[in-house]
Amino acid sequence: MAGKAYGGRNRPRYSIRTIWGLAKSPELSLDDEDLYGIIGRETGKDSMRKLTQGEVDKVCRVLSNMKDDVNRAERGKRTDEGGNPQTEKLRRKIYALTGELGWNNNNDRINGFVKKMFKVDRIEWLTVPQSHKLIEALKKMVDRKEEGDAGENKET
C-alpha cells in the first residue's frame, strides 16, 4: 500500500494525534511542558503545527522508544504479570516452589534451570505443558530437600 498510509520507504506516517496519544499513554503520562521539551530537543521547533512529516515521524519514534523502555523496565521486575497469560497461575506455583528451595532471590537460577530443561530463556515463555513438567520437577526437588533436612535433624 503506497500513498498516505505509508511513505516511500514502507514506513508508517504518523500524525500529531499519534504524538499526543503516545505522550498521554499510561506508560509516559507526559504533561504538555515535557512533551514540548522533547519536540524542541528533537526538532528545534516550539509548535507541533510547524513540524514536517519527517519531524512528526521522528518525534513519534522517540516517544515510542521511551514507552518501550518503560515497558522493558517493568518487565525486568519479577512479577506474575507479562509472559504467557495461560501460565500465570502456574508461574505463581513455580515461584512458591522456588521459594521453598531458596531460589527466589536469584532470577538467573530458575531461568537457567528452565533453559537447561526446555531450551527456553525465561520462565514467562513456557507453555502450559512445560510449566506442569517444571512444577513436577520442582516438587521432587523440594521433597528431596525436605528428606535431606529431616535426615540431618535425626543425626543431631
Domain ranges of the chain: 16-76, 85-155
Residue type at position 123: I
Q: Is the pLDDT of residue 54 over 80?
A: yes
The pTM of this model reads 0.46
Quote the distance between the C-alpha of residue 121 and its chain's center: 14
What is the pLDDT averaged over residues 131-154? 85
d(CA 142, CA 50): 64
C-alpha to C-alpha distances, 67 to 19, 61, 82, 114, 144, nearest whole angstrom: 12, 10, 16, 29, 45
Terminal alpha carbon distance of the chain: 77
d(CA 140, CA 130): 16
Query: By C-alpha distance, which of 149, 156, 133, 154 is closest to 100?
Result: 149
Tens-place pLDDT, residues 77-99: 544 456 777 888 888 888 889 88
